[in-house]
Amino acid sequence: MNIDTDITRNIRIIEFLKSELLTSIASLFHNLLKGSKVNRDAVLDVLSNIILVTYILSKRLGYNHSVIDSKILDKIRIGKLEDHETEKWYGDLSDLSDYLKGQNR
């Protein structure tokens, strides 16, 4: 395969993934708008797809999964230092940090 074909394929998949991400976010908003009428599994499916597509897109853009994880941990640390509302009220950032650190052992 020549380099032009490879570059074209990479661009096409990046555009597809961007579209998939936007579609998933729209689906999440639509499901949340329905409120209690929406199936819990439908919301979990959409949320997991957003995370999956984000990881694949980051790889296509040249970033390692571990680099993304590291950036997430950095953002968690900053959020904890800045007393982010979700941390202050629920401890969500600490919970996520513990989970991610447990995954990387």
Residues 41-85 have pLDDT tens digits of 999 999 999 999 999 999 999 999 999 999 999 999 999 999 999
**Do residues 56 and 73 share a domain?**
no
Question: What is the structure's pLDDT at 105?
Answer: 53
Question: What is the structure's pLDDT at 5?
Answer: 86
**Do residues 44 and 83 share a domain?**
no
Q: Are the C-beta atoms of residues 93 and 86 closer than 8 Å to each other?
A: yes
Residue 64, token pair as written in the block: 């390692």
**Do residues 68 and 58 share a domain?**
no
Query: Looking at the 3D structure of the chain, how many domains does it have?
Result: 2
**Do residues 8 and 59 share a domain?**
yes
What distance lies between CA 18 and its chain's CA centroid? Answer: 12
Structural domain including 76 reads: 64-105
Question: What is the structure's pLDDT at 37?
Answer: 81
What pLDDT, in 10s, does the model give residues 6-32?
Answer: 899 999 999 999 999 999 999 999 999
104 pLDDT exceeds 70? no
Residue 36, token pair as written in the block: 């209690």
**Do residues 58 and 68 share a domain?**
no
Q: Binning pLDDT at 50, 70 and 90, where does residue 2 land?
A: confident
CB within 8 Å of 50: residues ≥ 6 apart = 21, 24, 25, 28
